[in-house]
Amino acid sequence: MTGEARAFWLRAPGEGELRPVALDPPGPGEVLVRARYSGVSRGTETLVFTGRVPADQHAAMRAPFQEGDFPAPVKYGYLSVGTVEAGPAELRGRTVFCLHPHQTAYVVPADAVVVVPDQVPAARAVLAGTVETAVNALWDAAPLVGDRVSVVGGGMVGCCVAAVLARFPGVRVELVDADPARAAVAAALGVDFALPADAAGDRDLVVHASATADGLQRALELLRPERTVLELSWYGDRPVTLALGGAFHSKRLGIRSSQVGTVSPRRADRSYADRLAVALDLLADPAFDALLTGRSRFADLPDVLDRLASGRLPALCHLITYDEE
């Protein structure tokens, strides 16, 4: 045996714990990764933590190396960065990203890890999975040079979308959020900011990521005629009510979903690995550090998720460190 690791498990909705994991030595074509950082995706992971994954989405929401089943007990997570300690010579000692749950060490197929570029700090690399979501969304939306774009919802996903859009030539981006504190994040990302009531209208594209009915309603209101809201929110088991009796029909507006589980059909020539590589290259930009809004030790993760789920701990991406192991 290589030894033991520890993993975070959701024992029951709202109750997390750390469990020992026995690790076998890596076989041919496998790597042993020692975790350095993982990221808590606040929106999705708090829905999982509170047991709010809809029954008809249990299969679709499985993470690549998830164990157990929703609602619990389940080992979940997908933003892990670590160092390869054993495996193919070309990977040993390299910093890698893996879509793996929160765990101190793990053995996975070598093709399940992606080498983090030298210019991307390991801590920032935990954002790769969320930036990958943003890349896929913009492949779906296909914004044009000079477009006026709003991103409604300044959470982790919305901010990643805004950050990527800010690098499009001639595109004017406005981040819209009900929390005035998001103005500082928007400034760090190089985009404009507005509260919902003050948001600019007549937009060529609106990306919605607030996971609220009010946010989606406001996103529709900001569109110019014949345009579409790209919906990135995941609502879990919550119903969404919209008022569609007004301009929705007269302006011929649309709502289109985007989901990272499938590579955008607009980019059928690209693979999942290609998409993740694009995300990691984008993370060379230090502006993304504005999305890392706190850090805690792995040993404290059960309490961290409880506080994130209740709102007592505000965060965009909360960083988990493994230095104590």
Is residue 325 over pLDDT 60? no
For residue 249, the number of C-alpha atoms closer than 13 Å in the C-beta half-sphere is 4
Is residue 288 over pLDDT 80? yes
State which amino acid sits at residue 119. Answer: Q
User: Could you give the 3-state DSSP secondary structure of residue 270?
Assistant: coil
pLDDT reported for residue 259: 85
Across 129-156, average pLDDT: 96
Least confident of 1-5, 86-90, 243-247: 1-5
pLDDT above 90 covers what percent of the chain? 89
pLDDT reported for residue 60: 85
State which amino acid sits at residue 191. Answer: V
Whether the model pTM is above 0.85: yes
Least confident of 100-114, 275-289, 311-325: 311-325
* Rounded Cα gap, residues 264 and 32, in angstroms: 31
User: Could you give the 3-state DSSP secondary structure of residue 302?
Assistant: helix
Is residue 25 over pLDDT 90? yes
> Minimal CA–CA distance to 135: which of 145, 127, 147, 146?
127
Mean per-residue pLDDT over the chain, rounded: 95
